[in-house]
Structures are given as C-alpha cells and as structure tokens.
A = this chain, B = another copy of it.
Amino acid sequence: MFDFIIKNKESCARTGIFKTPHGEIKTPIFMPVGTKGTVKTMTPDNLNSINAEIILANTYHLMLRPGEKLIKKMGGIHKWTNWNKPILTDSGGFQIFSLKDITKISEEGAEFKCYLDGSKHIITPEKAIKIQTDIGADIIMAFDECAPGTSSKSYAKEAMERTHRWAKRCKKEHQKLAKLRKNPQALFPIIQGVTYDDLRIESAKFIRDLDLPGIAIGGLSVGESKEQMYHTLEILNPYLPEQKPRYLMGVGTPEDLIEAIDRGIDMFDCVLPTRLGRHGAFWDLSGRHSITNKKFAQDESPLDKKCTCYTCKNFSRSYIRHLITENEILGMHLLTLHNLHFLINLTNEAKTNIEKGTFGKFKQQFFKHYKPKNIKHVQ
C-alpha cells in the first residue's frame, strides 16, 4: 500500500500511480475540495462524471461540526459521504492559522477560538492525528504552522522548526494509532520555510528524512508572487525524493498547475474552481471569464466549445448567465462542474503529454492561448 510508481518523465515533469486502500490515483492530479464533507453543489455521481479520482475534506470544519466521533460512528468519511474513492484530509492547521482565530501558539500546539460559538479549543499534533484517524481518510496530513508569506526570516525559521518537531510527534502518534485501524492511512508531512531558500532546503531535507509515503509543500499560494512560488519549487526539486508523490497544497489556477507540473509536482488541491463557480466565473482555454458579462446574454455557445462536460454538452452561456443572474443553484452547480472538469482535464492532458514526451510543446501551446489574469490567488 502507498507505493508510488513513476511511469514517465519529461524533464522534471512526471506521471505516476499512487496506491491507496480506496483505489489508485494517477498523477499529476487535481483534487476537488469538499470542505465540510461535500464538494460544494456536487454529488458523488457528478464527481465520477468528471473523472475525479480523489477528493479532500477539511479536518477543521468536520471536527467542529458534526465532530469526528460522529463520523467514526457512522462508519467513517467514505461511508458517511458515499464516496468510495480515495479521500485526503488536511490537519486543520491551515484553517486555524488563516482564519485568524488563533489565540496562542506553544510547543504543545495551537489554541484557537471556534468561529461558530467562540469556544476555546487546543489542537496538538497528537490530536490532529487522532481526529484524522477517526475521520478515516486515505491520506492524512501532519499538523504544521503555515507562517504568512510576509513573515520575517526569524519567525519563518521558528515556525518551520516547530513544524518539524510537530511532524515527528505526528509520525509517532500515527504509528501508534495505525495499529488499531483496519485500513491503513498514509501520513504526509509538510515542508515550510516561507520564501527563504535556505529554510526551504533545510525543511525539505528534514521532511524527506522522516521517510513517510508522500511529501507536501505548504505555505505557498498564501500571498507571495507567482514568480516566488515557481522559484521555490525549483530550488526544492533536487531535495525531494523521486519515488514519493509531491503535493503542492492549495494550488491553484490553470497556469499554476501547468507551471508546477513542469517543476515536478504531482498533486494539487484548491477551492478556486468551486468558489469561482458559485460566484459566476469560469475558465476556458483563453482564460477566466465572468458569465454575468452582458456579452453572454444571447450567446448560444457552450462555456467552452472543446469541453466534454455535462454543462458544455447541454447548456448555453445565455442560459447559464440567466441562472447566475437569478442566483439559481443550478447555475452554481453547472459552473462548478465545468470548472472542476476543466482542472481535472488539464492535469489529465498534462499526464498524456508527459507520457508521449510532448509536455513541453503542450505547455507552450497552452500559454499561447491562455492569458492568466493578474490577480493574486490566495487559498
């Protein structure tokens, strides 16, 4: 279990297969985010129709409501949500830090106020693992401190070193709890270090040496420039073991996916396709558009002429624009489905091109048509 087999390589880009108790994941792969145990507006059937192979759920939200004990009692996250393919849960750390509800960080863990009722909670590395064990995903994440992109070097170092000590505690707790489970879970530790090259390299070495089934890169797409993010991936590359999947957390846009695959990344997740979908935006091969733009009012063509998703095969921009203007749920669903399909299809096309040795050309073609917006995307 949790073997990662590299199938093809083209420069730094690679394709592979990662084995989990709920099936194989073929990389590179985009993973839709199901924050509260549902990829917003999507049924499992919808997710299958766009070839989703793995989805995320957020530990932070699920531990507060309905609580991990209830999910465990209902047979675990797969049975409860009726999703029988792989699931990944984050550790809750990212939400605690980004929602600014944190009240105290100590060696022990992070204390925070619940956004629902103001009640105080403390999450320790051990607790983050215990909760994720109860939820029961296939891939679980170490509890890390995601320092802001604007952190000073001294704070970045402090947070990174704490993240390393926490990662060791997570590994220990995970080994203890794994014995009590039927289905094994893969623990992925997380590289931090903000945008300081020497810290990133130090972190990569430490995380690599923990020798766990995968390696995540955190603390990117949190306010730094795209160039900084791409640069960080480049300097990390020589320090990452070949035979483990590399997961770039919280990324991203179509252009980020292509650039990161080119720099050796295998796994991605981001709320962007679902969030944009609920707010009336969609991608096609020329870039990102807002469906409420008046020019679409009488546009009988699909969102993307080359797209094969249910939305594009059945509905016009004119109709979807009407639905979004009227705040109709169907409009949000149709855009979400298309956007998720767009990113999943993009990683699939990247995969096919790496297999054929044509990824370089594919990337060139992509950027010939696709014009990224100058918007800073943060998670």
Closest Cβ neighbor of A319 among chain B residues: B80
- Contact (A330, B65) CB under 8 Å given A298-B74, A319-B74, A319-B82: no
A273 at the interface (CB under 8 A from B): no
Question: Out of B42, B43, B75, B314, which one reaches A44, CB within 8 Å?
Answer: B314
Stretch at the interface among A33-41, A121-129, A255-263, A346-354: A33-41
Interface string of A25-51 (1 = CB under 8 A from B): 000000000001110111111000000
What residues of B have a CB within 8 angstroms of the CB of A331 in the complex? 38
A155 at the interface (CB under 8 A from B): no
Cβ–Cβ contact B329 & A65, under 8 A: no
Q: How far is the CA of A176 from the CA of B267 in the complex (A)?
A: 63
Closest Cβ neighbor of A278 among chain B residues: B329
Cβ–Cβ contact A333 & B326, under 8 A: no
Q: How far is the CA of A65 from the CA of B45 in the complex (A)?
A: 32
Q: How far is the CA of A288 from the CA of B44 in the complex (A)?
A: 27
A165 at the interface (CB under 8 A from B): no
What residues of B have a CB within 8 angstroms of the CB of A332 in the complex? 329
A315 at the interface (CB under 8 A from B): yes
- Contact (A36, B74) CB under 8 Å given A45-B310, A81-B319, A310-B43: no
A300 at the interface (CB under 8 A from B): yes
- Contact (A37, B319) CB under 8 Å given A43-B330, A325-B65, A326-B65: yes
Q: How far is the CA of A298 from the CA of B66 in the complex (A)?
A: 10
A251 to chain B, nearest CB (A): 24
